Amino acid sequence: MAPDRENITIIGGGIVGLSVALGLLRSGQRVVVLDGADADLRASQGNFGLVWLQGKGADHPAYARWTRDAVAAWPEFSRLLREYGGVDVALTQAGGYEFFTDETELRAFAADLERQQAALGNRFAFEVLSGDALRRVVPGLGPEVAGATYSALDGDVNPLRLLAALRGAVTALGGSIEAGARVTRVSPISGGGFDLALEGSGTRRAERVVLCAGLGSATLAEQLGFHTRVRPQRGEMLITEKIRDRLPVLSSTIRQVNEGGIQIGGTKADAGFDDRESLQIMSDLARHAVAVFPALADVRVVRAWGSLRVMTPDGYPVYARAPEHPGAFLVTCHSGVTLVPMHATALADWIEGKPGAPDLEMFDDTRFALPDAA
């Protein structure tokens, strides 16, 4: 092998790219991770940190099973990260709630969970609780809460610690992470391999490439003949001052981070590449939080931000091989935190084509080549 040829080059140094890199390193591959510029749109630095199963795959059984496998694998994976990099990602999996102030929305979501349960069988259970039942068991819950669903499998991590832990693990296993290495073009080479053009620093060659660059993958994926065109979806968040008392429960929109602050989020907006927060959404988030836990009305908000999720046309992950360019792969999803253990284990087996690797046909990119694809 020529000195300038890496075995596998990961384009994208966020949670997804680092997870894939970790899995490939553990399987014995040589891996280089090309991370972009600090100013890039980075979902890994602005997400909510949930390890969440509720609602995932209600209409996509393969996604429901993939997510269930990931949630089950998280405890052992968090121990693995501590072993490699010495970082505690603050994983908790004591169960989570989806709170509703509208009974119609609660019933609709409960119907989603029934379909999800049909796909997962005895591997998934949930409860639907009325507002009155909740107020008997959840201290401080507000009178506007109409009800909630609950799953004992849900939890969260500290996402910035997770990012640091993955970087440390990749480095500990001999992987290379190059910061400020923004790839602008991927060109297949006759006979195999790829030339990568880097902004401001010439080109380099790679035997295999895995596109994990989130919103930055769109142009590169097109160059390799993939059909997927990712799009941004803006989510906005508030974070409060640190408070001594712990919230009694975790929800998908209100959680207390391990350092003590309350994180409030859950919004979705098609705003293009505008990741700025908006006063109206910030106000709506604050009202929702106070409706669920009225005591939060007296807690100060210290930060607010918007961040862009990475969405495929149908919202489900893509794991694809370039049909005309062997050695090129596309990996993209919007549940990067939840799916970390699968990306660092089974997905690496799939990339390597190992016996026993998962069948990921339901996540293939070709679904977007159909005339009626979204």
Lowest mean pLDDT among 6-10, 44-48, 97-101, 233-237: 44-48
CA distance 367 to 211: 18
CA distance 84 to 80: 6
Per-residue pLDDT averaged across 168-188, rounded?
95
pLDDT of residue 359: 95
pTM, to two decimals: 0.94
Res. 307 pLDDT band, cuts 50 70 90? confident
CA-nearest of 175, 312, 112, 156 to 247 is 156
pLDDT of residue 44: 52
For residue 243, pLDDT beyond 60:
yes
Give the HSE-up count for residue 166: Cα atoms under 13 Å, Cβ half-sphere: 27
Lowest mean pLDDT among 156-160, 186-190, 366-370: 366-370
For residue 140, pLDDT beyond 70:
yes
For residue 168, pLDDT beyond 80:
yes
pLDDT of residue 6: 56
Per-residue pLDDT averaged across 73-100, rounded?
96
Q: How does 27-56 read in b/e, with b if 16+ C-beta sit within 10 Å?
A: eebbbbbbbbeeebbbbbebbbbbbbbbbb
CATH 3.50.50.60 intervals, the chain:
5-50+161-230+314-369
Q: What percent of the chain has pLDDT over 70?
A: 94
pLDDT of residue 87: 95
Res. 7 pLDDT band, cuts 50 70 90? confident
For residue 3, pLDDT beyond 60:
no
At the fourth CATH level, the homologous superfamily of domain 5-50+161-230+314-369 is FAD/NAD(P)-binding domain (3.50.50.60)
Q: Which string of DSSP letters, residue by residue, matches 95-129?
A: -EEEEES-HHHHHHHHHHHHHHHHHHGGG---EEE
For residue 45, pLDDT beyond 90:
no
Given 3.40.50.720, 3.20.20.20, 3.30.9.10, 3.30.70.1230, which CATH number is that of 231-311?
3.30.9.10
Residue linked to tokens 């799939």:
350
CA distance 238 to 285: 8
How far lies 141's CA from each of 56, 191, 299, in Å? 26, 64, 16
How far lies 312's CA from each of 125, 131, 374, in Å? 28, 35, 9
For residue 1, pLDDT beyond 90:
no
For residue 248, pLDDT beyond 90:
yes
Amino acid at site 324: E
pLDDT of residue 110: 98
pLDDT of residue 223: 95
Lowest mean pLDDT among 44-53, 107-116, 236-245, 329-338: 44-53
Per-residue pLDDT averaged across 280-291, rounded?
95
Res. 40 pLDDT band, cuts 50 70 90? low
Res. 2 pLDDT band, cuts 50 70 90? very low
Taken as a whole, the chain contains a residue count of 374
CA distance 89 to 67: 19
For the chain, what is the mean pLDDT?
Answer: 92
